[in-house]
Every structure is written in structure tokens, then in C-alpha cells.
A and B are shown apart, each in its own frame.
Chain A
Amino acid sequence: MNRGRALVATLVASLAGVSALSAQQVTWDRLQHPEKEPQNWLSYSENLFNQRFSPLTQITPANAKNLELQWVWQSKSLEKFEATALVVDGVLYTLQGPPAQGVYEVVALDGASGRPFWTLEYKPALEARPCCGRVSRGLAILGDTLYMGTIDAHLVAIDAKTGKILWDHIVEKVGDKATEKYAITHAPVVIKDKIVVGIAGGDLGVRGFICAFDAKTGKELWRTYTVPAKGEPGNETWSGDSWKTGGAGVWNSGAYDIETNLVYFGTGNPSPDWDGRERLGDNLYSDSVLALDADTGKLKWHYQFTPHDEIDYDATQVPVLADIQWQGKPRKVMLWANRNGLAYVLDRSTGEFLLGKPFVKVTWMDSFDPKGRPIRIPGQVPTPQGSLIRPHALGATNWAPPSYSPRTGLFYAAGWENSGSVALEGKFPGGVGIPNGTPMGQATLTPNFKKEDEGFGFIRALDPHGLTRKWEFKMNDITWAGVTTTASDVLFGGGKEGYFLALDARNGDLLWKIALGGQINSGPMTYSINGKQYVTVAAGSSLFAFALR
């Protein structure tokens, strides 16, 4: 069926005598129903629910061993390649973040050959100083327009057929002060006729916000701050004027549910990251998921994963939405494997806490109150002498996108175990074990000498009912790579060791692997052209595409 649809689309394009580039018009209706066009990958995590689940079935557990390289696109930038590409009717759009004083590369590639149709180079302001890498995690598309957020907090509209800039809107002007280092690092979210983005910079003390823009003109339509101002509900959770530089940045994509008309975003750490003494209180809405009315930006509900965070846990994973049976009844839920080491099931209509459970060793809390507030373990807070706290400041998992397969009913997340942080009042939590035992992702490979008790990576499959672990695939080193599943029960993932992996989504069995020579810091993506299924992943500073031989 899938192959048939792809063939029809290709035939139509061929008969019309036009190139693939002129056959696009990604309407809002198409974006709402990606299941109707499994050959494409129209948004960051495949669908608005962020399930990162493709209906394609050509690559199976039985034949995945026959995957082979089709093409490679090499970026000029040696930044971490974190983007997930989009594919629209055979054309693949992706981008790579700029090196210092360099340019973004935005490209439209032939999905079959990897040859570029066009390349756009875009130079951000020299004042841009994102805290943790000059990266972009992806583009969005609506109609024939691509949307890019930049590390100097611009939202840029690009003609998908030519690569020409249509408009370039300054979301917030980047200044010299740390608290003015606004940035956009995630793939924008399309909702109807709006483009929604969040602002990063919480580590540097910006006051985070989420805002929507008219897709045609770039005019700002609404803006909701993630830290409430004086007089607004929630401001009482910040002592003094600490809210003004409270952080709670947004640096990963959100989800959208048309039935609730809510857009969901995770927020980052409160600022300063590791010194709660200057910002007493819960520090709403840091480390939270926010549900905003998509038309107005009005906050409908929130859930705070880590009140008064002093470890820099953030909560910026992409929200994953699913419709599941919960205690015998259908329920619209949100699944979340958080950097703080806990996995959650929330009711996405109301924000009700349904279940929370550690998915790694967790030593900072031991239970929840009835409303889902974590109850801390005494002493497991930053102290002058230092406290060993698990998970590590960089998390049990980080930003890498997870997956939910409606076929297996399992929620898949990549992360790592056994790494802890020594938390000191007012200081970056130090690592434990070997130096750089749990470093941030980099583009290039680094030798690994770690013992298991110094940290190891994994892909784990969790059953949302009970959040029990169904299987685990262990990796020697940690992983910053996302996961993707397909309707043929294949899971694609990878890690810091540079292996791109195909696993059986039902049991975690290794089906196929290939060493790509650079760390994988992206989420895999799959599409098809002329009935041939491809799967791509970025590793090092290149994008690799595979298909069956």
C-alpha cells in the first residue's frame, strides 16, 4: 500500500513534466495527516504527536541486515549535526549549524542521490553566543516555505523551491549581556497558519518565552513568557527580582493536539543553574511542560517535573503524545522520559499526573505526592561539601528525541546510566568517575575506556502502563542520539560511539549496525522514493542515507 502511494505520487509528478521541487504544497491538512503519505517526513518528529514513528514497512527485522549506504552529504561546518531532516515528495531539507563566525548551511537535497538542488548560506550575528553548541535541530515547512530558527534568535522564512530568503524576523535582539543571548535552536512548530518557537538562553539568564508568528508575514501574534512577571500567577515562586533573569528557556520542539488545540513545550532550567539561594521557591515554570492555547498562547495547564532545580536538569525533551488505554479506558496522554531520571505519563487534556517512575538510578527523590510533586530525599541537594546525586547534571537522557510505536505500544528513549554529579552550592555539578566520563556530545569520536560503573548508554523500551522496562540495548559509551520506530517494528538509533543501529522494536535484538566515524547527535529519519525506503542519520558533520541492497 505504502509503495503504491509513493508510486502514484511519483507518476503524477512525472506525467506533469515537473521536477519534484515544483510539486510541493505542504498544506496544514497534510501536516495533520502524515499517515496518509508515509513516503514523507513532514515535521521534526514525523507527526504533530512527536511519536517519531513512520508507517513505512519495507525495511523489516528480517531484511535490515541488507541495509547499505546510498549517499552522504558532508557539511562544511564541524559543529554537532543535530538536525532531523524533512522530506517532501522526494526532496530532503536539512540544515547544519554555523561554526564560530561562520554560516548556516540550509540545503534541499535529492533524497535519492543526495545531490543538492540548492544551498543557502546564512550568517548569524556575531553577538550570538548559545550556551551549548551552535546547533540547529531542524526546519519546519508549510506551503512552499521553510522556517528556520537561528542562534541569534531570528525566525527566517525560506522559499523551499529556490532557497531564497522570503523574510527574516528578529524574534528578540541579541545584546552584549549574557541575559540578552537569546537563541532558537529547535525546529519550529507549524500550527495551522502559525509558526511557533521557543527561546533558549536559560543557562545565561534570559527570561524564556514561547511565541507564535504569522506564517505568511512573520508578524508576531502572541508571546507567553515561561517565567511569570510580577503580579502574574506563579511569580510568587521566585524570590525578589530573580524572575527577571529566571531562565526556563525552550530549546526543543513542541507537540500539538488538534483536539485540545493545545501546543505543548518543555522548558529548561531556572537561572542561575546551580545556585538556588538567589531564587528561592519552586521557580515556575522552569523544568515544566506548558500547555498553551494555540490561538492565544494562554497557559491552560502546567506540570513541573523538578521544582526548584539546582542540578540543571531542564525539561526540554520533546513531548510525546499518544492515545492509549489507561486503566481500561481510552486516555489522551503525554509520555515523557525526563533528564531528571524519571519517566512520566500525564493526561494531556488536563495536565493530571497519572504516573511517574525512575527509568535510571535516581537519588534526588524517592516518591511523589498525590499531585505528582516529587518528594526529595533529605541531603540530596547541593551543599558546600558536595553531594553525589544521580543522575548526572547532563541527565539520564537529554534532548535527543524519543519514539512511541502505536504497534508495540512501547515508549522508547535513549539515555545513560551510572553517572552522577557532585552538586556544590552555586557551582557546576562536577562529574564523578573518570574525567569527562559524561561529556556533552561532540562531532568527532573519542576513545572510550569506561568501566560499567562509570556510565554506559542505552536504548530502553518502556511500557507506559506501569512504566516498566520491556527491554534494553546497552552501549559501552553514553548516547546523545534519538530513536525512530517504523510500522515494521524496526527501531533506528545510535550513539556517541558512532554506530548507527537497527534494533527489533519488539525485543531490542540487534539487527544491523554500521560505524559512521563520528558521534551521532541526531534522530534517525525514514522516507521513501519510488517505492524504495531510505533511512538517514547525521553523524559527525555528515548526513548518511541507507536503503536495502
Chain B
Amino acid sequence: MRAHKSRLLAIAAALFGTAITLVAQHNTAQDIDDGGRVFRNTCANCHGPDGNEVAGIDLGRGVFRRAKTDEDLVQIIRSGVPGTAMPASDMPVAQAEQVVAYLRSVAATKRSATASGNVERGNEIFHGKGACMTCHRVNGAGARLGPDLSDVGQLRRAVELETSIVDPGKEVFYTNRTYRVVTKDGATITGRLLNLDTFTVLLLDSKEQLRSFEKSNLRDFGFVEASPMPSYKDKLNAQELADVVSYLVSLKGKVTP
């Protein structure tokens, strides 16, 4: 439904020449959020999550080879650049505008100053002093309690990774929410929520056991608002933080055994 409707809107916009004004008008938080999802799923494969992995182009800082305006960007997103690796797409105008709105929002936010760290040192901290593998997993090794980070460099910008390390509770992606149940005999089990319905709770508990609970057998249950991840704000110095962020950015996804 939505695809059809978007296409209609795109056609209508093209016919009435309203695309240019729409870009400026439609840059709400919702647009930016939607545009970010499209960017990560479509554009980041080549441009990287920060938009700076194609030589001479830094999408998140407004550095383009050809585009001068938002309208140029929408045009390039949809038509591609002949003779280059930039393909044409059937992305509706409205969606391309959301991507542009996202890129503008990225440009307006502070880019992580720590992305220029040392990947190797970051790797060492991640696996050593940081003890990150106690909860996280990378390429088939480590724990499963926290999110698998094997391709986090493909999914998250450096600035977002930095925020998650120093202020992990600021934003927890909804599929990574923590849940707590208290059984009728008083046992408290906390874990990563895997599924929730009217009658049951499914968790990966702190011992990495898949657990199922009937709500009718529980004394209490509910979300844990605080992230179980500790803040590394005072545990890593600026250079170490930069190194870890750089390491995470380097994780682009491998086949997990």
C-alpha cells in the first residue's frame, strides 16, 4: 500500500514541480528517522555509515562531487551517476528527500572526534581492558547477552558508537531491550527480551539460557529501563575511546560460524 502511495505522490510531485519545496518542508524528526533507516539499508553499503567511504565524497559533511543543492541530491539518488558505481534507483522522491534530510541532520551534528583512533589498539582494549566480550559477540566469539557487534560498523555511525560507550542508556534499540521477571518463589531473572506476548515472556538470561515464562506463574515482570551496559566514560581515556570506536567502525560483518 505504502509503496504504491509513495509512488503516486512522487508522480504528483514531479508533475506539479513541488519536489524542490518538499525537500525544505519535510525534514521533521520522523523524516530524518525514516531517511536514516533507508540510508543504512541502501546507501551505507558503499558510502559507509558516516557517508565518507567513497573517495572524494563525505555525505555527512556536505562534501559532494556534483550536487550543489538538495534537489541535485534527490536527482542523483534516483537517477544515479552514469559511468560511476552510483546506480539509479526506483526510490520515490519523498523517500529520497528523507534521505537528504537525514544527511543534512548528520552534517548538523557533531561528528565523533574519536573515529581516527587505532583499530588494532581498539581491538586489544575491546578484548582486554574493556572486557566487552563478556557481553558482546564478534564474528562468532564472545557472549550473546548484548548485541552482536560483527557488523556494527556497517549499521552505526562513529558518533553513535561513541555515545553508546559513554552513555549506554541514552538510546537502547528496541530489539535489545532488557526484561526482568520475578517468579512466584522469589527468583529474579533478567535478560535480553526475545519475544513478548499476552501470556509469555521469552528471554536470553544472564547465563545465556533461552528461558520461557508464563506470566500467570510470575509475581512480577516488566522492562528494565536502565541499560545493563556500564558506562566507559571514566574507564577509558580519550585515546582509548577513539581506538575502540575505530575498531567498532572497522567491523563490517563477516560470516558467523
Enumerate chain A interface residues (CB-CB to B < 8 A): 129, 131-133, 178, 203-205, 272-273, 275, 384-386, 422, 424-428, 430, 432, 434-435, 440, 447-451, 474-477, 495, 497, 499, 513
Contact = CB atoms under 8 A, between A and B. Distances in A.
A52 to B, nearest CB: 22
A474 B28 contact: no
28 contacts: A131-B1, A131-B4, A178-B4, A272-B9, A384-B26, A386-B28, A386-B30, A422-B28, A422-B30, A424-B28, A425-B25, A430-B31, A430-B34, A432-B30, A434-B174, A435-B174, A440-B1, A447-B175, A447-B195, A448-B195, A448-B197, A449-B175, A449-B196, A450-B196, A451-B223, A475-B197, A476-B196, A476-B198
Interface string B17-43: 000001001101111001001000000
Interface of B: 1-2, 4-6, 8-9, 12, 22, 25-26, 28-31, 34, 37, 94, 174-175, 177, 193-199, 223
A430 B37 CA distance: 13
B139 to A, nearest CB: 24
A422 B31 CA distance: 10
A414 to B, nearest CB: 13
List the 10 shortest-distance A-B pairs measured between CB atoms, nearest first: A430-B30, A497-B197, A132-B1, A434-B174, A386-B28, A131-B1, A447-B195, A384-B25, A475-B198, A422-B30
A272 B12 contact: yes
A203 B5 contact: yes
B196 A131 contact: no
Given A203-B4, A204-B4, A384-B26, A449 B197 contact: no
Nearest to A130: B1
Contacts of B9: 272, 275, 426-427
A510 B88 CA distance: 54
Contact of B199 (A275, A427, A499): A499
Contacts of B31: 424, 430
Contacts of B197: 448, 475-477, 497, 499
Contacts of B194: 447
Given A204-B8, A273-B5, A475-B198, 17 more contacts: A131-B1, A132-B1, A178-B4, A203-B4, A272-B8, A272-B9, A384-B25, A384-B26, A385-B28, A424-B31, A427-B9, A428-B5, A447-B195, A451-B223, A476-B196, A497-B197, A499-B199
A475 B196 CA distance: 10
Contacts of B25: 384, 425
Contact of A428 (B6, B177, B223): B6
A448 B196 contact: yes
A430 B6 CA distance: 12
A439 to B, nearest CB: 10
A270 to B, nearest CB: 14
Contact of A427 (B1, B26, B37): B26
B194 to A, nearest CB: 7
B30 A435 contact: no
Nearest to B3: A131
B1 to A, nearest CB: 4
A226 B137 CA distance: 58
Nearest to A204: B4
Contacts of A275: 9
Nearest to B7: A178
A524 to B, nearest CB: 17
Nearest to A440: B1
A427 B10 CA distance: 10
A432 B194 CA distance: 22
B12 A427 contact: no
A447 B197 CA distance: 9
Given A424-B26, A427-B9, A129 B174 contact: no
Contacts of A384: 25-26
Given A422-B30, A440-B1, A449 B199 contact: no
B216 to A, nearest CB: 10
